[in-house]
Chain A
Amino acid sequence: MAKKDLVLSDPSQPVQWNIVVNTVHILGYKIWKQAPGNTDWELIKEGVSTDNIADNGEFSVEKGAKFSYWMGIGSTVPETEFEISVVLSQNGKVMENGLILEKGLTNEDGVARRLEKLKFV
């Protein structure tokens, strides 16, 4: 299902992000932002869900900017159902269209990959 644009309630406030893996899977991820009218992507964070470091943070953004995430998902067991939540919020409130659920099935090698680009409006 195509993801919808992310609605900024207050462009002067930073956007908080949080990634949570809800199933028994390994996750490596990268997140970027792109300023309006710019072709370069700026890396916000690259991380893993398997360490003790929280998978959240914040970044500043303006209307028309883009947000992207890449996820490498894996398990030693093939063809298992995974579920990962990406939550984007402002001032502690989830943004409109800011709760994204990535669901699917790993392939016969036990891996899956997700790439998404979203626009802030």
Chain B
Amino acid sequence: MKRLAPAIFLFLSSIMLSQETASEATEDMISNFYSIPDIPALDFLSSDPDNISKPSTTRELVTSLYNALDEDGKVKQGLALEIKPSYLLNIPVNLQDYQDDEFKYMLYNTQVSVASLASSGDIANTDLSWGVRMVIFDNSDPMSDRDFTNMIAKQFVEGGPDSPESSDEEEELKEMAKIIKEGKKEFVKNHWNASWLAVSYAGGTRLKGSEITEGNSIGHQFLVAGGFRISTFGQLGYQAKWSEELREETEMYFEEFELSSRLTIKGKSTLNFFAEIGYNPLLNKEDFESFEEINTERDLSWLGGFEFLITKDLWLNAGVGSEADRFVEGNGIQVLSGIKFGIADKQRIQAPTR
């Protein structure tokens, strides 16, 4: 071991020196891969509008839909609507329902969305999309946990005023915000590997001349994602996606299926492991065999790795497999015996969450 120590030191130094600004860990690709879109209709069009309308009554919804059309009856571009059916159907859901009634939990966590965007290549046309997202259950949701909500409420009372005369709104709001933030942080830490299941669907149409009656499908996608808790140390994440999407370069529909699963094992907070396997076949590959630029043969992809906390805000990560670049990225990557090593300024192995 004494002989190995200088070699390890030199190896780590070479990575760290070549990467003076330890790759800012960028987005946590490893975590974000397993999730459903926040707003499926927007995700489907890759749209990111400044304002999202959230009608909470039927009247507001009708007004929003009316405003989505211009004076000639054409669909406006840049539309973004997020709708909660539980509000529109006027089905009351309180905290007790949320914690005890599975149907009401699911209904409350169901969202319908509608979006529109100028079609790429012809701004006279409009792409209109619609989507649904539904969380079936999620044990990592603090509001569904009675112990959590009870603890927070009791802390609110403890921090409340002794009499109406001594109440200070600003101070109380600040104190309550701190209670919620710290309580949530602790809850997430303790429930990182909780089980969950969510589904989403999105579809779209291209409206010629933005006319509502002149639509041609641009595709559909259906996604199921979730995680199984494994004791206190692990989680098995999974995701299945079916999609049929119009690809501009061929004017034909790609029909794909994507299946992947990941095992995450977390240690005491300094050492974490994961292994992931994925398969993404093109279901109608015979339609594209004449297109040389399109890869119709898809292999099984895999990725495994670990991360180790060297010191505060400095993680050594190592990945192996066909998708290793997704985990180890940035400058100064070193390859040793086929294993890619890199340095990041924060933890990259997180549990998949909705």
Contacts and interface: CB of A to CB of B under 8 A. Distances in A.
Interface of A: 20-30, 32, 40-41, 46-51, 68, 70, 72, 74-77, 81, 107, 109-113, 115, 117
Contacts of A117: 164
B181 A49 contact: no
B164 A115 contact: yes
Interface string B146-177: 10011011111101110111010100110011
A94 to B, nearest CB: 19
Contacts of A75: 143, 180
Interface of A is mostly: strand
16 contacts: A22-B92, A23-B93, A23-B94, A26-B95, A26-B152, A28-B156, A28-B157, A28-B160, A32-B163, A40-B163, A41-B164, A41-B165, A48-B157, A51-B150, A109-B180, A115-B167
Nearest to B147: A50
Interface centre among A29, A46, A107, A113 (most CB of B within 10 A): A113
A74 B164 contact: no
A71 to B, nearest CB: 9
Given A70-B164, A72-B159, A77-B143, 17 more contacts: A21-B95, A23-B95, A27-B153, A27-B156, A28-B152, A28-B154, A30-B157, A51-B153, A70-B160, A72-B153, A72-B157, A72-B160, A76-B141, A76-B142, A109-B181, A115-B169, A117-B164
Contact of A28 (B141, B143, B153, B169): B153
A107 B157 contact: no
B184 interface: yes
B192 interface: no
B346 to A, nearest CB: 22
Contacts of A48: 150, 153-154, 156-157
Nearest to A75: B143
A110 B177 contact: yes
A48 B98 CA distance: 17
Given A24-B94, A41-B163, A70-B167, A113 B157 contact: no
B201 interface: no
A90 B145 CA distance: 36
Interface centre among A20, A29, A72, A74 (most CB of B within 10 A): A72
Interface string B92-132: 11110110000000001000000000000000000000000
Contacts of A77: 143
B177 A111 contact: yes
Contacts of B179: 74
A105 to B, nearest CB: 11
B56 interface: yes
A109 B59 CA distance: 29
B137 to A, nearest CB: 15
A48 B158 CA distance: 11
A120 B176 CA distance: 31
B320 to A, nearest CB: 37
Contacts of A51: 150, 153
Contact of B93 (A24, A46, A110): A24
Contact of B156 (A22, A72, A109): A72
Contacts of B156: 26-28, 48, 72, 74
